[in-house]
Amino acid sequence: MKKTNWLLLVLALVLSMFLAACSGGGDEGSSSSGDSGSDSSGDASGDSKQVLNIMDSAEIPTMDASLATDAVAFQFLGSTMDGLYRLGENAQPEPGIAEESEVSDDGMTWTFHLRDAKWSNGDPVTANDFVYAWQRAVNPDTGSEYGPYMMGGVIKNATAISNGEKPVDQLGVEAVDEHTFKVTLEKPIPYFKSLTTFGTFLPLNKKFVEEKGDKYALEADTLLSNGPFKITEWNHGEGWTLKKNEDYWDADNVKLNQINVKVVKDTATGVNLYETGEVDRVNLSAEFVDQYRSSDDFKVEEEPTLFYLKLNQKANDVLGNVKARKAMQMVIDRQSMVDVILNNGSIPADGDIPKNFVKDPESGKDFREVNGELVSYDVDKAKQLWNEAKEELGKDKITLEYLGGDTETAKNLDAYIKDQLEQLDGLTVKVTSVPFKERLQRDTNMNYQIQNAGWGPDYIDPNTFLNMWVTDGANNKTGYSSKEYDQLIEQAGNEYALEPEKRFENFYKAEKMLIQDDAVLVPLYQRARAQLWKPYVKDVQVNPMGPDYSYKHAYIEGK
Amino acid sequence: MTRYIIQRLIYMLITMFLIATFTFFLMKFLPGTPLTAADKLSEEQQAVVLEKYGLNDPVPVQYFDYMVNLVQGDLGISFQFDNREVTTILMERVGPSIQLGIQAMIIGTILGMLLGLISAIYHNGFLDYGSVFVAVIGKSIPSFVFAGILQYFIGVKLGWFPVALWEGWQYTVLPTVALAIFPIAVAARFMRTEMLEVMGSDYITTARAKGVNKFGVVFKHGVRNALIPLITVLGPLAVSLMTGTLVIENIFAVPGIGEQFVKAVNTNDFPIIMGTTLLLAFLFIFIILVIDLLYGVIDPRIRLAEGE
């Protein structure tokens, strides 16, 4: 019996040591973040403190610009780093580390003249930092997903290097001197300047990155900043703190002293934190929108992200019939869909380019305004087209499979669309709800008939939405193939690369062809975010790509 | 006894090995790749990135490599948090979950046992009905509903405790209470049933006949005998509380391991899935061992091994 007790004591000690070790980590985290918590509540008490309290729905996966792929990472890379340019008002690139730039007559060579700027460790930001970062992003050893994607076909040799066919030093980038950075492109890229604002194109301090090795960008102290803010504290899974970077070249124009970010996944929790004044902004889900719609704090932010039904023309002869596809475009009441099902400010989509995304280079009018509504809601016409299609196909009863999402909103939306589509005589729609990655896999294998899909832009140009649908495009996966369409896109990318008006003419034609003539997609809606913002937060800039928000000029007034 | 423990430790190792193997192959059935931008990459580019993670190798080779590393204590590098070691992530995340779990367990067990005892002592009385009512409520209301109610009334309306986040002991109060409600109910119900049964036994009658007072009987003879079934139930419950409850962690924004595990499954972060599964499995079988040993302490008539 004594022996038993002794053994039990040892076991109990082992367990308690294990638990103590585990919760010890948590205690450290909580005590250090306790400090930041008291900072935040103390500092936020007056305008002069200039502290912004926000939340994000996920932990930052990485702060390594070469490896970043998601919205949270790009958001905080954008807040702590400056690239050649950064997104300014109306999504126009404004000078960052590059004071100015010039492009050769053939549009193939860009020369950037860099200003005197410093990293947060005091090192100067030089042209070599860009050369190193861009080479690192396409180097297959880095394992970057976005490097090859964003630079391939844009920067000379990027694709060959990322496929391991050429050495990294063959990339079309060169440090002419410390303050001059030269880039050679594969072909003229009219939107190249806006591309340089994207996270993957940020510079890296080679000495620092190599010194930190595998640990680079994993913790607050293994990060360097050359932008408006720097991360001073990072409690993984819990939150992080940004403080103003006094070494930033434009520090005089940065008003906020601190940004506290907390990870909060649950919308109701976010709303409660907003109500108690812990956070200054919260995203609302549909069920909260009605409750807060009349509040002064309520805002709707339009996003250039489009959702549509992708129709696999190869999977089913019905979907291969253009009249049937057109009928499906016309039978869905998009307005009711956004008003009732989504209820978050989203707007009906009537083309493949979102509203307020790009402007006509000549007239300055919105692309959407110029090209007009390419789909309309007309049930009678839809039924007529559907009957014609059935006659052509010699079918009466048709069953189609619909691949939808597994979230609550997606299920509601998919049920609504099924109901709308089934207004077409003899049509039965079978909905399968799957997780996002399952849908992606089925898309890759073209193992679907109809799917609900979406796309957000990677740069500010119609090309990001329209070149997806060229024959054998990596994301096409609809079986759509049109020589004329391919030619329009190809011409816009090459022959007309330096002639913006002609280029846009091609995009207008291509979009009409894609949506109106060939009915490749069924546009559904353009997403928006319904939010509550504390009225004392001013001048936060909302971006259509890259970082969702820019806090460079934001400030607190009247709190 | 020593032989029994050594034997159990060997079984633990075999169990861990089987769990690791089973999880590894099961994981390979998950659809999709760990690439976040898979829909944007060409096949060549995907292959280059997958090569970096060793995912281009045949599955048996991947399995062998993983097991070799595992034996050396290397759980690998996370896919979703580039270059971060799985061990580091687990250690950061398991702390808050275990802390909440232990707090909820202690509060839940003590309160539950008290309620159960009161019920048994005042059988069929007002206090009995009262504690049965509490137990039924605790068992039937889902913890997320209870959590939401606590958050809104105690956090937002009354402002007694923080609504959510993880910044000090006061932030643990509401999630602990939300988690504790279930063990309270379980402990109360078991304690009540067992106590009623024990109290009707012959030896209790004997004790009473010898003149031991009511409370003496309850605490000296009753509780000890009622503990065995209670521990049997509370053991696995303790593990499930300590290994993180996704809903509670989400509602109170607790940076715990439950949420991390679900995220790992959703993003095909294989090393984190494996690491978390192994950690949870270890906790589970370790606690089962401790419980088995505890039986012997509470009731020496329970023999742990043959011939001992």
pLDDT range class, residue A18, cuts 50, 70, 90: very low
Q: Is the pTM of this model over 0.95?
A: no
For residue A138, give Cα distances in angstroms to A154, A546, B138, B285: 12, 19, 56, 46
CB contact at 8 A, A342 and A556: no
Cβ-nearest to B1 among A7, A264, A441:
A7
CATH number of domain containing A147? 3.90.76.10
Which residues make Cβ contacts (< 8 Å) with residue B129, sequence separation at least 6?
Answer: none
Rounded to an integer, what distance in angstroms lies between the CA atom of residue B105 and that of residue B283?
15
Is A15's pLDDT higher than 50?
A: no
**Residue A527: φ, ψ to 5°:** -70, 150
Q: Is residue B304 part of a domain?
A: no
Give the residue among A453, A455, A454, A459 at the shortest CA–CA distance from A544.
A459
Structure tokens, A2: 């004594």
- Of A226, A258, A290, the residue that ends a domain is A226
CATH number of domain containing B149? 1.10.3720.10
pLDDT, residue B100, reads 93
Same structural domain for residues A203 and A326?
Answer: no
Structure tokens, B106: 């202690």
Same structural domain for residues A494 and A373?
Answer: yes
Query: Average pLDDT in the A300-322 region?
Result: 94
Q: Is residue A420 part of a domain?
A: yes
Q: Cβ contact (<8 Å) for A145 and B35?
A: yes
B258 touches chain A (CB under 8 A): no
Q: Is residue B185 part of a domain?
A: yes
Q: Is residue B306 part of a domain?
A: no
Q: Is residue B103 part of a domain?
A: yes
B211 Rama sector, left if φ>0, alpha if ψ -120 to 50, beta otherwise:
left
Q: Is residue A390 part of a domain?
A: yes
User: B50: domain range?
Assistant: 16-71
Q: Is residue B121 part of a domain?
A: yes
CB contact at 8 A, A399 and A435: no
Q: For residue range A148-194, what is the model confidence (pLDDT) as tens digits?
A: 999 999 999 999 999 999 999 999 999 999 999 999 999 999 999 99
Give the residue among B167, B98, B95, B181 at the shortest CA–CA distance from B137.
B181
Q: Is residue A297 part of a domain?
A: no
Same structural domain for residues B187 and B237?
Answer: yes
Q: What percent of chain A has pLDDT over 90?
A: 80
Is A409's pLDDT higher than 70?
A: yes
Lowest mean pLDDT among A20-24, A204-208, A496-500: A20-24
Same structural domain for residues B60 and B150?
Answer: no
DSSP-based helix, strand, coil % in chain B, nearest 5? 75, 0, 25
Q: Cβ contact (<8 Å) for A143 and B49?
A: yes
pLDDT, residue B305, reads 52
Q: Is residue A176 part of a domain?
A: yes
pLDDT, residue B198, reads 83
A–B interface: beta-carbon pairs under 8 A: 209
User: A352: domain range?
Assistant: 303-528
Q: Cβ contact (<8 Å) for B82 and A23?
A: no
Lowest mean pLDDT among A510-524, B247-261, B283-297: B283-297
Q: Is residue A109 part of a domain?
A: yes
pLDDT, residue A35, reads 36
Same structural domain for residues B182 and B114?
Answer: yes
From chain B, pick out residues whose CB is under 8 angstroms from the CB of A275: 156
| B195/chain A closest Cα distance in angstroms | 26
Same structural domain for residues A170 and A312?
Answer: no
Same structural domain for residues B99 and B242?
Answer: yes
For residue A517, give Cα distances in angstroms to A253, A366, A514, A520, B85: 50, 22, 6, 9, 52
Is A17's pLDDT higher than 60?
A: no
Q: Count structural domains, chain B.
A: 2
In angstroms, how far is CA B198 from the centroid of its own chain? Answer: 29
Cβ-nearest to A474 among B42, B80, B81:
B42
Q: Is residue A36 part of a domain?
A: no
- Of A172, A206, A226, the residue that ends a domain is A226
Same structural domain for residues B63 and B110?
Answer: no
Which residues make Cβ contacts (< 8 Å) with residue A318, sequence separation at least 6?
Answer: A324, A389, A393, A395, A398, A400
Tokens 């659809």 sit on residue: B31
A291 touches chain B (CB under 8 A): no
Higher pLDDT, B305 or B118: B118
pLDDT, residue B209, reads 86
pLDDT, residue B296, reads 79
Q: Count structural domains, chain A.
A: 2
Q: Is residue A491 part of a domain?
A: yes
Cβ-nearest to A145 among B49, B83, B92:
B49
CATH number of domain containing A320? 3.10.105.10
Same structural domain for residues B53 and B99?
Answer: no
Angle at A269 between CA B242 and CA B78, to 5 degrees: 50
Same structural domain for residues B47 and B109?
Answer: no
Closest-CA residue of A relative to B268 is A437
Q: For residue range B148-203, what is the model confidence (pLDDT) as tens digits?
A: 999 999 999 999 999 999 998 999 999 999 999 999 999 998 889 888 888 888 88
pLDDT, residue A30, reads 34
Q: Is residue A72 part of a domain?
A: no
Closest-CA residue of B relative to A26 is B95
Same structural domain for residues B148 and B254?
Answer: yes
Same structural domain for residues B191 and B285?
Answer: yes
Cβ-nearest to A214 among B39, B83, B91:
B83
Q: For residue range A368-401, what is the model confidence (pLDDT) as tens digits?
A: 999 999 999 999 999 999 999 999 999 999 999 9
Same structural domain for residues A341 and A207?
Answer: no
